[in-house]
Amino acid sequence: MSYKTQRKVIIFAFSAIPVILLFTFAYLPVFNMIKYSFTNWDGLSKHKEYIGFDNYKAIFTDPKYFSVFKVSLYYFVATFVQMGLALYFATILSYKLRLKNFFKGILFFPYLLNGVAIGFIFLFFFRPDGTLNTLLDLVGLGNLSHKWLLDTSTVNVALAGTSVWRYMGSNFIIFLGAISSIGKDVYEAADIDGANKWHQFRHIILPSIKKIVQLNLILAISGAISVFDIPYIMLGGSNGSNTFVIQTVDLAFKYGKYGLASAMAVVLLIIVIIVTLVQRLVIKGDD
């Protein structure tokens, strides 16, 4: 076979499966979802009745559906806390330090745990006679004790905190990798110029890992908007912890409202895309 033919064969052979998977499981669902969102389909019957924008109207006018957006805000804020912590620990652990590997391991380990295990661990942690309240008593802050998961004003803070605990390690280790790939000579030059640690962070570390931070932020934000595991495992979405995805899954699979669930998913998707685009523009504007 000539290289020209080989080229065609290999391009086709190596792309066929990924492309088929990509279109079947990434693009076709989006297309179908948009189609379903204009119907009152129950997910089972052969017949789908076209009802225009009624599903969308319901989502934006019925507070029962719209309130779940507010819950996302907790996770959204938590994302920035998570990124900040990850960046801080990655930076200090990239310098010389005692017990460096021990700290690295401990900070990263939670990320490797099973979501259900984490849900249970924190169900235990936040119980009225559980770990957190006992700890607060121990350090003399007993008056802060609380029924964390039963109180609608603290439930989402507790759950978002759990999410930070779970995912911080993954951001941390990726940042750490990116920082350690910066050449040593750059720091040496900076030292000679008399740059302190903050200058080094601001002018060497941050610019070098900007792309990675950006990618992580995008993934974290779309993750924040599509939270499912933790609140579902811990509370089944009760006590005001219902998120968008729990709502969507319940509507579709419990109540057979496929059309409405699809419309919710479309709204969610549009939000994720807008957030991502805005954020990319903002970060690009820095250059």
Partner 1 sequence: MYKLKYTSATVFKYLTLVLAALAAIIPILVVFFASLKDKTEYANSSPLAPPTNWLHFDNYQKAFVNGKMLLGFWNTFYILAISVVGAVLIGAMIAFVLNRFNFRGSKILMGAFLLATLIPSVTTQVATYKIVNALHLVDTPGAPIILYLGTDIIAVYIFIQFLDNISVSLDESAMLDGASYFTIFGRIIFPLLAPAIVTVIILKGVGVYNDFYTPFLYMPSDHLQVLSTALFKFKGPYGAQWEVISAAIIITIIPILIIFLSLQKYIYNGFAQGSEK
**Hey, what are 13's tokens?**
């052979």
**Hey, what are 89's tokens?**
């620990």
Range 63-92, binding partner 1 (CB under 8 A) = 85, 88-89, 92
d(CA 62, CA 55): 10
Q: Smaller CB distance to partner 1: residue 1 or 192?
A: 1
Q: At closest approach, how far in Å is the CB of 191 from partner 1? A: 15
Based on the shown chain and the rule CB under 8 A, indicate whether residue 261 belongs to the binding site for partner 1: yes
Q: Smaller CB distance to partner 1: residue 190 or 269?
A: 269
Q: Looking at 57, 62, 73, 116, which residue binds partner 1 (CB under 8 A)?
A: 116
Q: At closest approach, how far in Å is the CB of 143 from partner 1? A: 18
How many chain residues bind partner 1 (CB under 8 A)?
96
Q: At closest approach, how far in Å is the CB of 49 from partner 1? A: 17
Range 18-37, binding partner 1 (CB under 8 A) = 18-19, 21-22, 24-30, 32-33, 36
Q: Looking at 81, 157, 249, 283, which residue binds partner 1 (CB under 8 A)?
A: 249
Contact 190, 204 (CB under 8 A): yes
Contact partners, residue 222, CB within 8 Å, separation at least 6: 272, 275, 276
Range 160-199, binding partner 1 (CB under 8 A) = 165, 169, 173-178, 180-181, 197
d(CA 40, CA 160): 34
d(CA 138, CA 225): 36
Q: Looking at 43, 48, 56, 80, which residue binds partner 1 (CB under 8 A)?
A: 43
Piece of the chain touching partner 1 by CB under 8 A; list 51-59, 74-82, 129-137, 146-154: 129-137
Per DSSP, helices labelled H in the chain are: 3-22, 28-36, 54-61, 63-66, 68-94, 100-108, 115-125, 131-138, 155-180, 184-192, 197-200, 206-208, 210-225, 229-235, 244-249, 258-285
